[in-house]
Structure 1
Amino acid sequence: MVQPHLIVLDLDGTLLTDEKVISEKTKRTLLKAKDAGHEVMIATGRPYRASKIYYHELGLHTPIVNFNGAFVHHPLDQNWQTVHSPIELKVVQEVVESLNRDQFENLVAEVMDDVYVQYHDEKLLNIFSMGDPRVTTGALRDYLKDNPTSLLIQSNEKSVPTIRKYLADTKAELIDHRRWGDPFPVIEIVRHGMNKAVGLSHVAKDLGIPRNRIIAFGDEDNDLEMIDYAGVGVAMGNGIGQLKNIANEITKTNNEDGIAEILIDRLRL
């Protein structure tokens, strides 16, 4: 009999197809894994409000890692020790004040599931509207009063390297930042030291599952630490080269049931 494993799933580009759904084969395989006594959890850069639909679709009962590790909680257990590691408001204010107006299109700060948007933009608001958050529009310096879980700078291709160099030169001990490429250039900022591996280690310890029995799936640079941490780190076929270089295994793409292929083989499902 295979010992209980912890299966960790990134969402976009991993668990979800390009149509943002869980395929029938992958869903069936994950449910079979749960029935066999394995634990299944989500670790995503998304906020909880934009990931809970998939949490409930899979019938999960585990903690979830959101905001790339900056927010870890248990949706079904209020007594579980929630971990929220936001950025200091003062640091965010300094970053915002350092930006020239021609360097960015918009700014978005999230305090868990509350959204603060500098400039009203229907396209941007559509992206952040999943889960029906409370949205405040206006200058962040006037409306943002709490330490934010994350800050997003919607920039332009020309300015991204300049902004990231400034952040690296002046705020390296306080914040970490990553680049999104889709649907437009975005720099995501979280508190220094926050990544999915930090959240995963917290959950794995709580569940009593050692690293050698963790199977984690990802596709992007925000999965690097998690894939490196897991006993079996799996890069999706559609994943970036850097992730494939450090992964223990490379599977098929998110549109080809890559997750199911590995689990059926590894866990003898």
Structure 2
Amino acid sequence: MTKKLIALDLDGTLLHSDQTISSYTVETIQKVKELGHKVVIATGRPYRMAKSYYDQLKLETPMVNFNGSLTHLPERKWDFELDIRLDHNYIWKLLDLKETIQLDFLASEYRNKFFINFDKKETIPPELFGVDKIIDKMELIPHKITEGPNGLLLQTGAEDKYAMADFIREHFRHDLEVDSWGGPLNILEFSAKGVNKAYALKYLLSHYGMEAKDLLAFGDEHNDREMLDLAGVGFAMKNASTTLLPHADEQLAWSNDEDGVAKKLEELFL
């Protein structure tokens, strides 16, 4: 069988709703790797909030973070690393719109750190950023922003996060990428124009001498659209957002909480 590049989203896809990966899924992925297929995490999460899953799965492949803005080998020097930054002026432009977009908080995200505005500090859940507590050194203050971020993350109080994402795209004349998180949180994430999971996966396919037909991709949300479009076969989870379904070749019969990814991989390869 032709060796595949298998791209896995985390939230709503590989992870259960309690943010865990089952032992069954871990074991299945190990067996698939042993057959020579390459498994990569492709997530909107920052690196610090994805590394534990990378380690749990015993991966040695590059990881895609920030929806494609950072493609790297964790904790290792890699000459082919992609580190794409967003113009930091978007931070201040979004903060200027805070009333219009019903902003709870805005975070400027980097590989190993983040800064967040404290206007509504009480609305910031520390666990969202992988920390125990939001402390002063994390406050978003102009003098701390010395370089463009890999991505921006905001929470809006708007009832319809998809409509708000459309509004922000239009406001900035589609000069940056705006995606939404799955689940109940009204989270929007931003990256440089043209940068998404598919952008990073095209790069990895080229690096490995593979073609798009060799890519299998699993996702559940708006930010997985381009990745599923690119893939030879794109799978949407049973629990996938309706915005993703037109981009999928197949919707799985199982949700993330039912280990849908592992069951499909077992069906395909084992």
| Residue number in structure 1 paired with 2:79 | 80
Deviating more after overlay: 122-131 vs 170-179: 122-131
- For 1:129-144, list aligned pairs within 5 A: 129-130=130-131, 136-144=137-145
Aligned with 2:177: secondary structure?
Answer: strand
Q: Give the C-alpha shift of residue 26 in structure 1.
A: 1.8
Structure 1 CA distance, aligned partners of 2:265 and 2:75?
26
Deviating more after overlay: 257-266 vs 181-190: 181-190
- For 1:43-62, list aligned pairs within 5 A: 43-62=42-61
- The answer to whether the 8 Å contact 2:181/2:222 transfers is no
Q: Give the C-alpha shift of residue 82 in structure 1.
A: 1.4
Structure 1 CA distance, aligned partners of 2:37 and 2:224?
21
Structure 1 18/163 Cα, relative in aligned 2: closer, same or farther at 3 Å?
closer
Q: Give the C-alpha shift of residue 266 in structure 1.
A: 2.0
Q: Give the C-alpha shift of residue 225 in structure 1.
A: 0.6
| Residue number in structure 2 paired with 1:149 | 150
Give the alignment's TM-score, normalised by structure 2. 0.88
| Residue number in structure 2 paired with 1:254 | 256
Structure 1 124/7 Cα, relative in aligned 2: closer, same or farther at 3 Å?
same
Deviating more after overlay: 32-41 vs 208-217: 208-217
Aligned with 2:243: secondary structure?
Answer: helix
Q: Give the C-alpha shift of residue 133 in structure 1.
A: 10
| Residue number in structure 2 paired with 1:65 | 64
Aligned with 2:43: secondary structure?
Answer: coil
| Residue number in structure 1 paired with 2:176 | 175
Q: Percent identity?
A: 32
- The answer to whether the 8 Å contact 1:115/1:135 transfers is no
- For 1:180-219, list aligned pairs within 5 A: 180=181, 182-219=183-220
Structure 1 CA distance, aligned partners of 2:132 and 2:8?
20
| Residue number in structure 2 paired with 1:128 | 129
**What amino acid is aligned across from residue 77 of structure 2 in structure 1?**
Q
- The answer to whether the 8 Å contact 2:9/2:219 transfers is yes
Deviations 1:174-203 (A, max 9, x none): 311123364532222211111100111111
**What amino acid is aligned across from residue 201 of structure 1 in structure 2?**
K
Deviations 1:126-150 (A, max 9, x none): 3213599997343443432321111
| Residue number in structure 2 paired with 1:32 | 31
- Structure 1 gap ranges (5+): none
| Residue number in structure 2 paired with 1:245 | 246
- The answer to whether the 8 Å contact 1:103/1:159 transfers is no
Structure 1 CA distance, aligned partners of 2:48 and 2:134?
8
- The answer to whether the 8 Å contact 2:182/2:221 transfers is no
| Residue number in structure 2 paired with 1:116 | 115
Deviating more after overlay: 39-48 vs 117-126: 117-126
Q: Give the C-alpha shift of residue 215 in structure 1.
A: 0.9
Q: Give the C-alpha shift of residue 221 in structure 1.
A: 0.6
- The answer to whether the 8 Å contact 1:110/1:151 transfers is yes
Aligned with 2:258: secondary structure?
Answer: coil
| Residue number in structure 2 paired with 1:90 | 89
